[in-house]
Structure 1
Amino acid sequence: MGVQLTIPLYEGGATQSRVRQTLALEDKAAADLDAARRSAALSARQAFLGVSSGLAQVRALETAERSARTSLESNLLGYQVGVRINIDVLNAQDQLFSARRDLAKARYDTLINSLKLKASAASLTDSDVLSLNTLLSPTADTALTTLPVAPSVPHPGAAAGKTNAVGRRPMPQ
């Protein structure tokens, strides 16, 4: 009965190189894990801030939309009584449409950021996506159907020939 033992006495440093390589790969894996954790934390933080600021922006733009609607209604009334011209009404309409566009974009961005937040927290489900899809689908009852539009009636002074080229009454002389 015999025992045979083989111990390499000299392999040109290959054994130590493999040990150093394994230790370096372990360090790299740990650094990659830390980078992934930092990236996940950063994306969650950015999504949270996006949702928070988005909600504040939506509230502000809802106020701006109400203000623009009131302005349009006032300009329409002023046009009907002859103290405003059609360009005032058109400018007020433009402000209302701009406010609505900005509000829609802010709402969309806030919804997307809420999905990103849920995804970064690993709590995004199919029902979240389906409910968002329901929110974004077109409906028959849209806000644009209640929009006051610029009147197609002539300016009150135009029928009597009392207005100048821009629709304003001339200054008394």
Structure 2
Amino acid sequence: EQRAIGRQLEQTKERFEVGLLPITDVHEAQAVYDGATVNTLENEAALDISFEALGVITGQQHFQLAGLSADFPVRPTEPADSASWVEFSQNNNFKLKVVRLAMTAAEKRANAAKAEHLPTVTASLTWSNFHDDGHFKKKKPLPRETQPYSIDDEPTVFAIRMDAPLFTGGLVSAERRKAYQQYIQTQEMHLLAQRATTQQARSQHLLVQTNAARVKARSQAITSAQSALEATEAGYDVGTRNIVDVLLTQRGLFQAKRNYANARYDYLVSMLKLRQVAGQLSPEHLANLDRWLDPGLKVNRAAAPGSS
């Protein structure tokens, strides 16, 4: 945009120097060019910030990326109804699963703390086998004789023990109440997570549908802006339009192209977020998206880190 308007500005200055245009046209063209320069600086700064954010995620600096192919398909969601996506999210959302598991664990802890009041019954069964044999000498009658002996014993002991926490200073009761309140807390957290997940699924579904329609509308806007520029340039050639009209219409065309690119980006991000909320975002989805990146469409970083 800045380069195209800059060329128009140079042509305007040349026409002024040969007396074909008044100085006011030069000043107006300069004002449009200055506005384009500001837009360029702002966009370059935003691009650098995005590259920095990407570096935080990947752990390395990036200076060039592949752009999204012009053939990237923009379609409405499948299934098209939001109710299906809400159902997907309630069953598969990972954050909701974590909260649900935390609630189950808290319930088990509450039941365990409640059981501390109950008596504990312990039963044991012990069986042993004892055998001994040998000889012993008789003292009488004389002469002393030896006589063999044998002992077999199989004692069995069965015991039952019951322990009851009659009084522990209130510790058991306090732990039981604490565990139960923690369980109630996780129930509320689970309910809140369910509501938030439902809201996110519906919102992201609506965004995908809206952004898909925006991409189509922005594409048509480029065609309209191109036609408007051609008509304005034709009017300028015959003297019915001035250079400012041409520059403003030209800037409108570049704005339409930016809006189209932003709409495609918004659609892509909203689709990824919808799949994430629904618990359906997988490495296969990212690999499929990577195939739509065109190395020929280079996105270069505006400035290297540390440069001024």
Which position in structure 1 is the counterpart of 2:35?
Answer: none
2:285, 2:160 → 1: CA distance?
Answer: 68
Match of 2:257 among 100, 103, 106: 100
1:112, 1:124 → 2: CA distance?
Answer: 12
Q: Of the two, which has the highest radius of gyration? A: 2
2:200 aligned with 1:43: yes
Tell me the matched-pair count: 140
1:48, 1:56 → 2: CA distance?
Answer: 13
Which position in structure 2 is the counterpart of 1:9?
Answer: 166
Which position in structure 1 is the counterpart of 2:286?
Answer: 129
Which position in structure 1 is the counterpart of 2:233?
Answer: 76
Q: Which has the larger share of strand?
A: 2
Cα gap change, 1:93 to 1:53, in 2 (>3 Å): same
Match of 1:53 among 203, 207, 210: 210
Cα gap change, 1:7 to 1:49, in 2 (>3 Å): same
Match of 1:67 among 195, 199, 224: 224
Q: Deviations over 1:26-69 (max 9, x none)?
A: 21222222222222222212211111111222222222221111
Question: What amino acid is aligned across from residue 112 of structure 1 in structure 2?
Answer: V
User: 103-112 or 80-89, which moves further after superposition?
Assistant: 80-89
2:245 aligned with 1:88: yes
1:138, 1:80 → 2: CA distance?
Answer: 39
Structure 1: stretches of 5+ with no match in the other structure: 141-173
Q: How far apart are residue 136 of structure 1 and its match?
A: 4.4
Secondary structure of 2:165 counterpart? coil
Match of 2:273 among 95, 103, 116: 116
Q: Deviations over 1:106-154 (max 9, x none)?
A: 11011100010011111112232233334344536xxxxxxxxxxxxxx
User: 58-67 or 5-14, which moves further after superposition?
Assistant: 5-14
Q: How far apart are residue 101 of structure 1 and its match?
A: 0.6
Q: How far apart are residue 5 of structure 1 and its match?
A: 3.7
Q: How far apart are residue 3 of structure 1 and its match?
A: 5.0
Normalising by the residue count of structure 2, what TM-score does the alignment of the two structures yield?
Answer: 0.42
Which position in structure 2 is the counterpart of 1:28?
Answer: 185
Q: Which has the larger share of helix?
A: 1
1:121, 1:7 → 2: CA distance?
Answer: 49
Normalising by the residue count of structure 1, what TM-score does the alignment of the two structures yield?
Answer: 0.71
Q: Which has the higher contact order (CA 8 A, sep 6+)?
A: 2
Question: What amino acid is aligned across from residue 187 of structure 2 in structure 1?
Answer: A
Report the aligned-residue RMSD: 2.1
2:261, 2:161 → 1: CA distance?
Answer: 81
2:184, 2:270 → 1: CA distance?
Answer: 34
Runs of 4+ displaced beyond 4 Å: 1-4
Which position in structure 1 is the counterpart of 2:48?
Answer: none
Structure 2: stretches of 5+ with no match in the other structure: 1-156, 298-308
1:104, 1:138 → 2: CA distance?
Answer: 17
User: 56-65 or 110-119, which moves further after superposition?
Assistant: 56-65
Which position in structure 1 is the counterpart of 2:49?
Answer: none
